[in-house]
Structure formats: structure tokens, C-alpha cells
Chains A and B, each alone.
Chain A
Amino acid sequence: MSSTTTEEKVIPESKEEKKTKEKVTMVVFSGDLDKVLASFIIATGAASMGMDVTMFFTFWGLNAIKKNEAKNTAPGVMKKMLGVLNKGGSKRLPLSKFHMGGMGTSMMKKLMKQHKMPNIDEMIDLAKQMNVKLLACTITLDILGISKDQLREDVIDGYVGAVSYLSEAKDGNVNLFI
């Protein structure tokens, strides 16, 4: 008798627990405007469904959360050169297709504006309002010679490695690599 009552209790509780824990994790590897935008569309969509969302920005994806006015402070010739070529910043992200030296990208931005679509900065703000967690990959910072003050520290929740991402992803119901 007592075992059935505990069973009855356990089932709804565990269901409830699962509901509050539903989780989306995303690796944002790409620094392309369209792909970053798609990431934020999914992130804000999931957050609006009450899911826990973590975005892990690595490699070129870090460009999305780099300051537009960041100075190139990379140490050494190679990293400095990389910093020149890979300036980053939400306003500099190129389209993955039809960038055409910036012409295609600026046209796409105009189209998006016409359709009242938020730009990357607005998407970041929206995501933050909805408690989306933004993590920056420390390995990438070292390799590309990016210092923390070049990043949007105001929106970043942590500087972590792959293992921290994985510890979140293993509990994730949806895990994406973009």
C-alpha cells in the first residue's frame, strides 16, 4: 500500500522536474551573419518556450560577441595579423553566401530591417532579457589572441572550456552545432 502511494507521488514529481529542466545548448562556431542570426532565433524561440538555453561561442562565432570598436591588442605578429583579418563585431559579420565584398550583406541587412527583424545586437539584448546564457570559449581566446576586454563582457556569463559546455550539453534535450 505504502509503495503505491510513493510511486504515485514520484511520477508527477519527476515529470515536473523534467519540465523545468528542459534544455537547449548550442555551439556557435560560425561567425557568419546568417548562421549567428539563426542561432539567436532558435535560442530566443526556445527561451520563450520556457527552456533553459546555453550558447557556447567558439572560434569564428566569438566575432558575434566581440565589440565593434575593439582594438587589436593581440600579442605577436601572427595573432596581430589574424586580428586584422578577423576583426569581428556584430556589425561586421559577413553572410555565408553572397557577401560580395559587403554589398550582398548590406542588402540582406536592409531586407531584414524592412521585415522588422532584429539585428544581432538586438537579438543579443533579447536573449539576455530571456536569461539565455552566453559562454565564451577560452581556448579560442588564446589561439586567436583575443583579450576579454575586446568582448561584450556585459553579456557574457562565463569563460569556459569544452568540458563545461559538455557538462551542460549532456543534460540537453536539444544540442546544436552551428
Chain B
Amino acid sequence: MTADETLDCYGLLCPMPIVETAKKINEMKIDEVLEVLSTDEGIKADMPAWCDATGNEFLGIEGEGRDLHVFVRKIAG
């Protein structure tokens, strides 16, 4: 999957990857895709939940173990 922006959250623990995602998404334009790099397994459940709560689109996760690439499309303003 290709992304417009990449956010390096390697080594950050909950809730920092989500907090950083929220900040980053805020700066992005609608329809742009953000790739979040994370070592935190919790993000697998947290990112879909965050997207659900904020109205952004969860596109999926690539990678496994400690190298997760999470994709989110900005929908909400």
C-alpha cells in the first residue's frame, strides 16, 4: 500500500502512536493516506477503534510482530 505521509512511531508505547496519529491526521488533507510505523501490538486493535470513533478509514495493517505498518485514510475534517 502506498501512503502520502509516514509517521515513525517505532518504540512508542500506548497511547503515543494513536496520539501522534491524531496530531498528524489533523495536519493532512482529506483523502490522504497515512502510514504509521509501530512496534506496539496494541495498535492492531486500537487503530481500528480510533478510526471508528473519529470517522477516519482504517485501511489495514502490513507486516507482523514488531514491525507493523498501519494505514489510515483521512475522512473526517
> Chain A interface (Cβ within 8 Å of chain B)?
41, 44-45, 47-51, 115-118, 126, 130
Q: Are A126 and B19 in contact (CB under 8 A)?
A: yes
B21 at the interface (CB under 8 A from A): yes
Q: Are B53 and A49 in contact (CB under 8 A)?
A: yes
| Stretch in B9-17, B29-37, B58-66 with 4+ CB within 8 Å of A | B9-17
- Expressed in whole angstroms, the minimum distance between the Cβ of A44 and any Cβ of chain B is 5
Using Cβ atoms and an 8 Å threshold, which residues of chain A touch B75? none
CA distance A47 to B21 in the complex (A): 12
> Chain B interface (Cβ within 8 Å of chain A)?
11-16, 18-19, 21-23, 50, 53-54
- 10 A-B interface contacts by CB (under 8 A): A45-B18, A47-B22, A49-B18, A49-B53, A50-B22, A50-B53, A116-B12, A116-B13, A117-B13, A130-B19
Contact A45 to B13, CB < 8 A, known contacts A50-B53, A50-B54: no
In chain A, what residue has the closest Cβ to B11?
A: A116
What is the total of A-B residue contacts with beta carbons within 8 Å?
38
Q: Are A48 and B14 in contact (CB under 8 A)?
A: no
CA distance A71 to B11 in the complex (A): 38
CA distance A51 to B21 in the complex (A): 15
Using Cβ atoms and an 8 Å threshold, which residues of chain A touch B54? 49-50
CA distance A49 to B47 in the complex (A): 10
Q: Max chain A CB contacts within 10 Å: which of B12, B18, B22, B23?
A: B22
In chain A, what residue has the closest Cβ to B40?
A: A115
CA distance A51 to B23 in the complex (A): 14
Q: Max chain B CB contacts within 10 Å: which of A48, A50, A116, A126?
A: A48
Contacts beyond the supplied A48-B23, A130-B22: 19 A-B pairs with Cβ under 8 Å: A41-B14, A44-B15, A44-B19, A47-B19, A47-B22, A48-B15, A48-B18, A48-B19, A48-B21, A49-B18, A49-B22, A50-B54, A51-B53, A115-B13, A116-B11, A116-B16, A117-B13, A126-B19, A130-B19
